[in-house]
A = this chain, B = another copy of it.
């Protein structure tokens, strides 16, 4: 390592797509990179639903960030929950069990991502976990598999129905993939495992207040996805707004104003997202504007108004879709801008998101893909999804085990990662007790 005293210090907040790709882009730059993140892993979020439904292990989609950056000698990784960014003092404060760490920066890339939003109803979280973290996925794995276990134990038909009704709120890519997988789990993997219940009778409800599933894929693909969901017995209910949610069910209001209750023990929230609170914190200090989801209106070069040394990228940026590609491209772009400056070059062109397209898997062998003006649905789109995801999964060994787990689940009917912990069983117990009072 070269002397570091006078090198330009780049601090990156977050180990998601934005933060990780920014760090990698600085590999050959004459800067010192410090990446601070709340978790020790880089999460491949698009496959979280496969951890929740027992196909993949958490290690396969969440390799350790410091292992990925091991050979990048100008980068260091620190565990810490960033609680305060002081843009005047140019410091980042992060919390860990060892205390508070204050890290000074010359340039800063804030890529802290987003969390689930319950649109002001935070108490929903206990009854309907989101799909944003490994903790969420393992918690949901526990709830989904336990629901079948508990249905097997129950004797009251209404209770059995409640355990075997799964409600997914939000018909975007995450909701569609989750609903599709639960349905396939119930219909392909679990039959034969139980003696009292028939898992294939499980009902998977996919709710959205909007009129279409996968709205952003356009009418044609949205329609194809809708029909495929129906084919695999997902009960898609559109124009249905969630008005309340508790341990044993969910209240929805249809477009005509009727309110009804869907009894269900296992609810999954894949509806809204809110940017990391660091967005509002930065905005308050600089007068930058934020949107309703707390995302920051940045300058054309992704920097904070009045602070060219602070970049905000990924899910925290307003006016951009909250997808992995935006985070990757903006992270790389911000890193490129920093690199230009440290080399004394002029600023580059404004950031422009290059839309490589979107994909969502509806079921095994069936996906939809929208790439520029081309639209694919069915098996071809699924093969594209397979190739792309295998390509993006970090590391050879993960690719091999992942391919094997996919063969087991898609060609066969098995699921290798169904193990749940007692912690989750106990959580479930507490929730059920709430439902009983």
Contacts and interface: CB of A to CB of B under 8 A. Distances in A.
Contact of A138 (B98, B405, B416, B421): B421
A153 B98 contact: yes
A261 interface: no
A67 B64 CA distance: 31
A324 interface: no
Nearest to A401: B401
Contacts of A150: 79, 96-98
Contact of A416 (B159, B192, B397, B425): B397
A40 interface: yes
Nearest to A34: B195
Most chain-B Cβ atoms within 10 A of its Cβ — which of A59, A71, A101? A59
Nearest to A71: B192
Most chain-B Cβ atoms within 10 A of its Cβ — which of A38, A39, A98? A98
Most chain-B Cβ atoms within 10 A of its Cβ — which of A97, A397, A421? A97
Contact of A153 (B96, B149, B428): B96
A404 interface: yes
Interface string A180-194: 000000000000111
B401 A416 contact: yes
A173 to B, nearest CB: 23
A97 B428 CA distance: 7
A375 B297 CA distance: 71
Interface in A263-295: none
A106 B152 CA distance: 22
Given A40-B145, A153-B80, A58 B96 contact: no
Contacts of A408: 397
Contacts of A431: 97
Given A70-B192, A97-B150, A153-B80, A135 B432 contact: no
Contacts of A154: 98
Nearest to A163: B98
Contacts of A38: 422
B133 A422 contact: yes
Given A59-B57, A79-B146, A405-B401, A41 B192 contact: no
A364 interface: no
Given A79-B153, A414-B397, A58 B98 contact: no
A340 to B, nearest CB: 26
A134 interface: yes
Nearest to A94: B153
A251 interface: no
A2 interface: no
A224 interface: no
A416 B398 contact: yes
Given A62-B419, A80-B153, A400-B404, 15 more contacts: A57-B417, A59-B418, A66-B193, A66-B194, A67-B414, A70-B192, A76-B195, A78-B153, A98-B150, A98-B432, A101-B153, A134-B422, A138-B421, A397-B414, A401-B401
10 contacts: A38-B422, A58-B419, A60-B416, A79-B149, A96-B153, A97-B428, A98-B153, A134-B422, A401-B401, A423-B423
Q: Lowest 6 A-B CB distances belong to which pairs?
A: A57-B57, A59-B417, A97-B432, A76-B195, A58-B419, A79-B149
